[in-house]
Amino acid sequence: MAKSPLGRVEMLADHFGAGKEMIMGLILGQNSADDNPWFDAECGHQPLNEDFGQRMQKIFNNHNLTFDLSYFRAWVADAVNEPDLGMERIVNQLKEDGIKVGLLTNSVPEFWPVIERTINTKLFDCIVDSSKVGLRKPDERIYELTARKLGMSTSSCVMIDDLHHNVKGAEKTGMAGILFTSSKETEEAIKNYFRI
């Protein structure tokens, strides 16, 4: 429904003086078992405060980089995001055809106002925000929770995400998975899946 915030990582990379892939790895970690303050923030256990900044700095120290908490907080909370009109169009079409649509997001409380400014959250039959439920993708339990909130079995659901490991997490629960590539390609994949 909105352009991926991952596209804005270049801003962080430029500010922190490192490559995009390195910054992604430092902030997002390698896997969900990592001791990662961002994962904790997405589960609602870690505000973006001084403790978060100190924890991130320990990770950045390994690469002789300085973590700028105030810049990072502004990057999250003051983000300007664009709606993805193709995805909005397909959600409306699915709803018109009687297909339930849920929003499952790994987010932090500081980012939620950006989501509300960017997309019409009233379109969704349910919203599952990682920071409110204490779980994050690709934990299988968050997909199962979303399916329950929709009143569906996981095998009746399809998960669309722009990160491969999040799609794989959904598929482990029996959901179908579609990797978001571009708006046009993903819209076609959704139409093909639902035969609409």
- Domain boundary (35, 50, 77) is at 77
- State how far the Cα of 132 lies from the Cα of 135, in Å rounded to an integer: 8
Phi, psi of 73 (to 5 degrees): -60, -45
Q: What residues make up the domain containing 50?
A: 5-77
Same structural domain, 100 and 33: no
Write out the H or E segment, with its range, that includes residue 128: strand 126-129
Looking at the whole model, is its pTM more than 0.75? yes
Domains in the chain, number:
2
Same structural domain, 163 and 128: yes
Taking residues 133-154, report their average pLDDT.
Answer: 97
Same structural domain, 103 and 168: yes
Lowest-pLDDT range of 43-47, 68-72, 116-120: 116-120
CA distances to 68, 89, 183 from 115, rounded to whole Å, are: 23, 17, 18
Answer whether residue 3 shows pLDDT above 70: no
